Chains A and B, each alone.
Chain A
Amino acid sequence: MDDLLNEFLTETNESLEVIDTELVRFEREPNNAEILDNVFRLVHTIKGTCGFLGLPRLEMLAHAAETLMGTYRDGAPVTDDGVSTILMSIDKIKEILGELEENQVEPEGSDEELINKLLSLAGVIEGKRPQNSVEKQDEETKENQTKVADQKLEKNIEKEEKDDKKYNNIGTLERELKPGEVSLEELEAAFQNAEGPDLSAPEEKSKKKEKSTSAKVKNGAKEKSVANQTIRVNVQTIENLMNMVSELVLTRNQLLEISRRYEGREDENEFNAPLQRLSNVTAELQEGVMKTRMQPIGNAWNKLPRIVRDLSVELNKPIDLEMVGGETELDRQVLELIRDPLTHMVRNSADHGIEKPEEREKAGKSKTGTIRLSAFHEGGHIIISIADDGRGLNTEKLKQKILSQGLASESELEAMSDSQIHKYIFHPGFSTAEKVTSVSGRGVGMDVVRTNIELIGGSIDLKSQEGIGTTVTVKIPLTLAIIPALIIEVSGERFAIPQLAVSELVRVSQSGDNRIEKIKNAEVLRLRNSLLPIVRLADLLKMNKMETNDAPKENKGNPDSTFVVVTEVGARSFGIIVDEVFHTEEIVVKPMSGMLKDVSMFSGNTIMGDGTVIMILDPNGLSQSIGQSNEEPANDDVHEEKNIKNENDEISLLIFQAGNKNPKAVPLSLVTRLEEFDCSVIEKAGERHLVQYRDKLMPLVYVDEKGKEQKEGTLPMLVFAEGERVMGLVVDKIIDIVEDRLELQVESSMDGFLGSAIIKGKATEVLDVGYYLPKAFEDWFERKEQVRPRARKLLYAEDSPFFRNMIVPILIGAGYDVTAVEDGIEAYELVQNGENFDIVVTDIEMPNMDGFTLTKCLSEHERAAKWPVIALSAFVGPASEKKAKSLRMFDFIAKFDRKGLLDALKRSEQFIDVEVAA
């Protein structure tokens, strides 16, 4: 019984897939009797088998659907509603089948409502009169059969199916043949005449006979030939075969190895001939077994017509789905993995791509939109494209979206081509849909698609032209089981890197052109126009301990040259330093044991020709472990902040000229953007100069007042922004961006500068942004002359990067040794880890742990209790001041009150001195 049930489930599920597709076709061609017959027959078979297996619920539902279809076959007009209801009942049948598969029993429940709807549409019953028995309906439908006869016939069908598998896909007609139709025997005969394994052959031959039998034969013959040439094999059987073949390949390789040793000896010939044959057979066998894993991509598509049809009804847009190249084959594993991404993209096309019919007409297109799905092979890859003739991507809208999400700045966008901008739709959380529909627009779409496709080593590309349409092209490997990989060695162990991820190999030597440089501890390589972050594989894999072995010595003896494997993962590329690079090899990927699955550096393992196992590196895992190295630096606040934490570290400095030839510098992190405006666009309001910038007026401040008189040419400027306020600081010339330490050597005598520092070997004046900001906005804060206390260690907690960057230079300017952290927790952790400070400056409003809590924690700490704490807050009110007092904070100062801060620091210094003296 169980076997029978399983077989029934497999078969019925397949039939249902066909029904789905066929019904959608039928809706469009309601006069095509052939399609209807096909569907009718399939549903009837399901009904019959259900009756035989004793599944009354399924049987009743299938029967009702069949009844409605029967009326269509008898010439009743086909309605949308009718087809939808039939589709609904097909879905219901699938649902019940699902439960049946799980529990081996038909689930409880009633489908009365659905059955009544079907029957009322069929005109069998009126309204919602309840109908309980199949027999009764049978009578009412007045089909020329009694229940008994029906069942008897169905039993015959069942028997036939059992006896002869050939009939499986054909089913059996339970009525008399109509004119123009053929019986099974005739079909059989037509089929016998057709010969050869070539699928198209029977079609061609039968065409000659078409006059009398028409399309029916063509269709039947095709089905039949497929049925005859296909057997169902358990997937596990094939997997096992695959493993055996791999084993055979290994053994063959070993034999070849041995025979090579015999080369030149007298008994050499004895081996060679049979070995050669074995080798060939093995190769063919391997290819053959690989082929059995291949499935037509059409299997991943067969649900799409139904989906598009449902969408087309729901969204009220007529859509045609064209599918080309469904027979293109690829590995079943890959097939499973691309099914969902494909569905998602087709949905996207239907929902966002295709316009409403009215819009289409206005644009001079046909009312019906077209989505074209095509697949073909190209050099070891399969290319799938999803093209629609819809509205295309709106570049302007995308730009706005990119700006509003802060993914790129306006000037960056300016420099981008349209296609670069389009690629942003693959960015996480990006959706261009104005409103979220039930289908798409939630912004969790294309990035997931991209991730899934990249996971299987594929790539995705998009081309779009506004008003004409969008084409998404996906390139994926044919199989995951065998991939080309680069074999490398680190610390005496070999590893494989998938070739797809490797873009090039570079040999670097400290003396040559390509050498590895360091920024702090991070190693980088100048590669043509870009800076490539470098990681050492031995470090990533923590294999340095192994260096007692002999292998690394070779490397050490030759530190002058190393190999860098340039790896690309998504948009990010990085270099991996390895000890040795061998060759590229086709490897058979084997999954890793469950015990190793959480080692994200590896994606699997493989057996090499010599029988040893080696691990396959996962480029995604490697990339993740490197962290946010070079992807979207503009968006990567956290990373930048880390660099600033200890002010003795190197920071990026913008070097410019203003007023005289001496270089001037400002920390780059303070500058929001660099802009250039033509003098003619500058407007004057009294003494102030303004420019229109992003629909707002931006005040300009001149480092050198003479600049105001300039009437021609362009003015380069540094834009400082905080929230809504934007200011442009006009300079003479922007020179360079350099990395260096910022250490003030000499205090400045000039207004607007903190002092001078040696930057890249030159005395450079460091700009005091705090001097210029109030010139643009009076409430920014007031300038105060420098105080110069002794160097004391100051802990500064502030969550806003802007304020951190603004106040840190002030504090350094005031002579403090500053450690900046992002919140209270981080500050407290530092203290707990034994760091000592003389004074603490903290923001009040911070995530995780606010300033008050931090103060309280510190006051309970044995060392920190004595440190004065100065609170800096944007909100100064009596309540918070009172709270500050109750916590015995040293002072409470408004964020913009620089004078107040410096005063408080000065006072606290005396306080510290007193403490020390006491």
Chain B
Amino acid sequence: MIEEKNENSAAGRGQQYVTIRLGGQLFGLPIDKVQDVFMPDNFTFVPLAAEEIAGVLNLRGRILTAIDLSKVLKVPAVNETNAERPALSIVYANELYGILTDIVGEVITLDDNLLEANPVNLNEEWAKVSVGTYRLEKELLVILDIDVLIETLLNKKAA
């Protein structure tokens, strides 16, 4: 039992994050959640769908639902055209999703213990889908909880 605990904390200490930039803000996603980074093309618009859904597209034979992160977080996107924005592919409940963003940055390793709780005055949309913040040297990095983000969208549709 004790051994297991040690293993856990060891693995937790150096968590890796993929950083993305959206509307000037830096966000991080745990790397084990991200399958792929790709440049989406050939979007299919889905009429009547929620505004957060940018469309569906074919990613190597699987149909992927593209989520416009700027619409979820309510920040203005730098690129308005979907085709010029990189996306991260994510698997949730056996379904494939793509998170559209402005810029995909480097992968950084951060110590779990340095993750701080979100400031209480963080706006609700953001607080709901993020687990905490890192203080990097130059700026702040908001860590997104991608499971909650997708779950929220799924529930929103069900309601």
Contact = CB atoms under 8 A, between A and B. Distances in A.
Interface in A13-33: none
Contact of B49 (A493, A546, A599): A599
Given A246-B61, A594-B93, A611 B47 contact: no
Nearest to B45: A493
B157 A247 contact: no
Contact of A615 (B46, B58, B158): B46
Given A247-B61, A250-B61, A593-B97, A615 B44 contact: yes
Contacts of A518: none
Contacts of A244: 61
A605 B56 contact: yes
Interface string B36-64: 00000010111111100100111011110
Contacts of B42: 611-613
A613 B153 CA distance: 21
B95 A594 contact: yes
Contact of A598 (B58, B60, B157): B157
A263 B53 CA distance: 41
Interface in A509-564: 541-543, 546
A247 B63 CA distance: 11
B61 A613 contact: no
A4 interface: no
A696 to B, nearest CB: 52
5 contacts: A590-B63, A593-B63, A598-B157, A601-B48, A605-B56
Interface in A591-622: 593-599, 601-602, 605, 607, 611-615
A269 interface: no
B89 to A, nearest CB: 13
Given A594-B157, A595-B157, A613-B56, A607 B48 contact: no
Shortest 9 CB-CB contacts between residues of A and residues of B:
A247-B61, A541-B47, A593-B65, A613-B44, A613-B56, A599-B48, A612-B42, A607-B58, A613-B58
A595 B60 contact: no
Interface residues of B, number: 25
A607 B46 contact: no
A279 to B, nearest CB: 18
A710 interface: no
A243 interface: yes
Interface of A: 243-244, 246-247, 250, 493, 541-543, 546, 590, 593-599, 601-602, 605, 607, 611-615
B83 to A, nearest CB: 13
Contacts of A243: 61-62
B154 interface: yes
Nearest to A492: B45
B146 to A, nearest CB: 14
Contacts of B60: 247
A243 B95 CA distance: 14
A607 B61 contact: yes
B108 to A, nearest CB: 30
- The B interface is mostly helix, strand or loop, or mixed, namely mixed
A596 B157 contact: yes
A630 B57 CA distance: 37
A601 B49 CA distance: 10
A613 B63 contact: yes
B129 to A, nearest CB: 15
Interface in B9-59: 42, 44-50, 53, 56-58
- The A interface is mostly helix, strand or loop, or mixed, namely mixed
B58 A611 contact: yes
A595 B96 CA distance: 11
A599 B51 CA distance: 13
Interface string B115-159: 000000000000000000000000000000000000001100110
A661 to B, nearest CB: 55
Nearest to A601: B48
A811 B8 CA distance: 82
B65 A596 contact: yes
B57 A613 contact: yes
Given A605-B56, A607-B58, A597 B44 contact: no
Contacts of A543: 47
A541 B46 CA distance: 9
A615 to B, nearest CB: 6
Contacts of B45: 493, 546
Contacts of A599: 46-49
Contacts of A615: 44, 46-47, 56
A597 B56 CA distance: 13
A493 B47 CA distance: 10
Nearest to A625: B48
A632 to B, nearest CB: 28
Given A601-B48, A613-B42, 6 more contacts: A593-B95, A595-B50, A607-B58, A611-B42, A611-B58, A615-B46
Nearest to A612: B42
Contacts of B57: 612-613
A541 B48 contact: yes
Nearest to A606: B63
Contact of B63 (A597, A602, A607): A607
Contacts of B95: 593-594
A243 B60 CA distance: 10
Given A601-B47, A607-B63, A612 B157 contact: no
Given A613-B57, A613-B58, A613-B63, A595 B44 contact: no
Q: Which of A546, A595, A605 has the most CB of B within 10 A?
A: A595
Contacts of A593: 56, 63, 65, 95, 97
Contact of B65 (A246, A542, A595, A598): A595
Q: Which of A542, A605, A614 has the most CB of B within 10 A?
A: A605
Given A593-B56, A596-B157, A599-B49, A614 B61 contact: no
Contacts of B63: 590, 593, 605, 607, 613
Contact of A596 (B46, B58, B61, B62): B46
A250 B48 CA distance: 28
A615 B56 CA distance: 9
Nearest to A249: B61
A598 B158 contact: yes
A407 B61 CA distance: 49
A167 to B, nearest CB: 37
A243 B94 CA distance: 14
A601 B42 CA distance: 22
A615 B65 CA distance: 12
Nearest to B151: A594
A595 B53 contact: yes
A247 B156 CA distance: 32
A599 B44 CA distance: 15
B50 to A, nearest CB: 7
B155 to A, nearest CB: 10
Nearest to B55: A613
Contact of A595 (B47, B48, B49, B58): B49
A234 to B, nearest CB: 15
A614 B44 contact: yes
Contacts of A595: 49-50, 53, 65, 67, 153-154, 157
Contacts of B65: 593, 595-596
A893 to B, nearest CB: 47
A542 B45 CA distance: 12
Contacts of A247: 60-61
Contacts of B67: 595
Q: Which of B45, B48, B67, B153 has the most CB of A within 10 A?
A: B48
Contact of B47 (A542, A607, A613): A542
A596 B44 contact: no
Contacts of B157: 594-598
A793 B46 CA distance: 45
Contacts of B50: 595
Contacts of A602: 46
A577 to B, nearest CB: 15
A598 B157 CA distance: 7
A216 B62 CA distance: 51
A107 to B, nearest CB: 30
Contacts of A598: 157-158
